[in-house]
Structure 1
Amino acid sequence: MFNWVKKLARRVGDFLAKIEQKAEADRLLKQANQQYKISQFRESLQSWEQALTIYLEIGNRQKEAASLGNLGCAYYSLGQYDRAIDFHQQSLVIKREIGDRVGEGHAFGHLGNAYQSLGQYNRAIDFCQQSLEISREIGDRQGEAIFLNNLGLIFF
């Protein structure tokens, strides 16, 4: 009987620790979003990296994908397009695995933007078209408008 109680107490302790870790990661994610909004890109990178580490530890795939995508956006804003592409591709893989179609469409869109910035217009068009297809498929009219606009800019 005593071993069962010890095991239960350990599991409860582990569960509570994960809740605390998730709260800290969520705080870091929110902080990074605020830093990014005021163009503190390097600071936001640090906060997102810390959040990503925690999400990896606790196995939160959705937030892991979001953090990777956010890191891609920060690197894009810093003009480091190859690094941005790497993070958006990692995010895309997870978004596909967890069935996040909206997130998948956005990842394709971010990849299109990065390739456009590198002057690789055909690749940019391919990614933006995939974003557009997903937006239409899931009925995301706002996403559809954004990706049509992005395609227009690439063609321009």
Structure 2
Amino acid sequence: MEFYQQALAIYQQIGTKAEEASTFNGIGSVYYGQKQYPKALEFIEQALAINKQIGNKSGESTTFNNMGAFYYSQRQYPKALELFGQALAINKQMGNKSGEGTTLNSIGSVYYNQREYKKALEFFGQALVIHQ
């Protein structure tokens, strides 16, 4: 955590917004790992705001996926699907097949955990096609 905070201070000082957003995502992930969920979400939301501000679509997609994973782990499946859907749309827009496949897999996992196995299989199948 200490290194993330040092990096954040440097990025803010020199004004590199994309790296600042990435560092907020990293700090959020650390708090998530420590089960400090409100704090994790606070940092991930800051990353999203910066990525939107600078038009960093790749960063937005990553952040939407992180937020989706957060809500997925909290069993807030509708919110997770909404966020994964936003990440998927960005990945498709950018032509990021790897990101698209990863997000389709995440959506499949949400449906699987909701016992919607037919939908889960559909998304897992789409992810598999992309990753092959």
Report the TM-score range of the alignment, normalised by the length of the smaller protein. 0.7 to 0.9
Q: Which residue of 2 aligns with 1:131?
A: 87
Which residue number corresponds to residue 47 of structure 2?
A: 91
Measure how far apart 1:119 and its partner are: 1.6
Shift >6 Å, 4+ stretches: none
DSSP-derived class of the 2:75 partner: coil
**Structure 1: gaps (5+ residues):** 1-44
Q: Which residue of 1 aligns with 2:120?
A: none
CA contact (8 A) 2:18 2:59 kept: no
Identity within the alignment, %: 35
The residue number in structure 2 matching 1:142 is 98
1:80 aligned to 2:21?
no
Letter of the 2:89 counterpart = E
How many residue pairs match? The answer is 112
TM-score (normalizing by structure 1): 0.68
Query: How far 1:116 sits from its partner (Å)?
Result: 1.0
Report what 2:115 is aligned to.
none
Higher-Rg member (1/2): 1
Q: Match of 2:126?
A: none
Cα RMSD of the aligned pairs, angstroms, is 1.1
Structure showing greater relative contact order (alpha-carbon pairs closer than 8 Å, 6 or more residues apart): 2
Looking at structure 1, the residues matched to 38 and 71 of structure 2 have their Cα atoms a distance apart, in angstroms, of 9
CA–CA distance in structure 2, aligned partners of residues 146 and 111 of structure 1: 14
Partner deviation per Cα, 1:70-107 (whole Å, 9 max, x = no partner) = 11122222222222211111001111111110110110
**Conservation of the 8 A alpha-carbon contact between 2:91 and 2:100:** yes
Asked if the contact 2:62–2:87 (Cα under 8 Å) also holds between the matched residues in 1, the reply is yes
- Normalising by structure 2, we get a TM-score of 0.80
* Separation in structure 2 between the aligned mates of residue 144 and residue 88 of structure 1, nearest angstrom: 20
